[in-house]
Amino acid sequence: MISVTTDIAACRALRRIVFIEEQGVPEADEIDELDDEAIHLLAEVEGRPVGSARLLVRGETGKIGRVCVLAEQRGAGLGAALIRAAVAELRRIPGVRQAKLGAQTHALGFYEKLGFTALGPEYIDAGIPHRDMVLALG
């Protein structure tokens, strides 16, 4: 089950496991003040948090970020379900016309299958190669 949540602590705990512990992202890059203004999505299996994402609205753009799924839950479609839920949530916000995300380059194909298009050059974020991707919502 995926839903909007106010349980930021659960989302941060998941992000700590995936980004800081697994991927080696510095804690200073992972934790920021934007959590307070973001919309958070939490994926649960049998009542246990297993994945999350956060949405930030900037004018006509909804930015999907901090998407993570625990290792033991990967490969079951939960990541795709999180992205679809994020896009659906952004479509409910008046004036938001596009979804944008910074995809780790190894995941470009994953996001392309969900309708996103890569644009711009590759860049490094938290030591990991990324490319921006967009999806029109209108």
* pLDDT level of residue 127 (50, 70, 90 thresholds): confident
- Would you say 13 and 70 are in contact if contact means Cβ atoms under 8 Å apart? no
* pLDDT level of residue 116 (50, 70, 90 thresholds): very high
Domain of residue 30 covers: 2-136
Segment 86-94 long-range contacts (CB within 8 Å, at least 24 positions apart): 86/41, 86/53, 86/55, 86/62, 87/114, 87/135, 87/137, 89/4, 89/39, 89/41, 89/55, 90/55, 90/57, 90/62, 90/64, 90/137, 91/137, 93/57, 93/62
pLDDT of residue 44: 97
pLDDT > 90? residue 115: yes
Phi-psi region of 34 (alpha: psi -120 to 50; beta: other; left: phi over 0): alpha
* CATH number where 119 lies: 3.40.630.30
Number of domains in the chain: 1
Q: What is the pLDDT of residues 37-95, one digit of tens each?
A: 999 999 999 999 999 999 999 999 999 999 999 999 999 999 999 999 999 999 999 99
pLDDT > 90? residue 136: yes
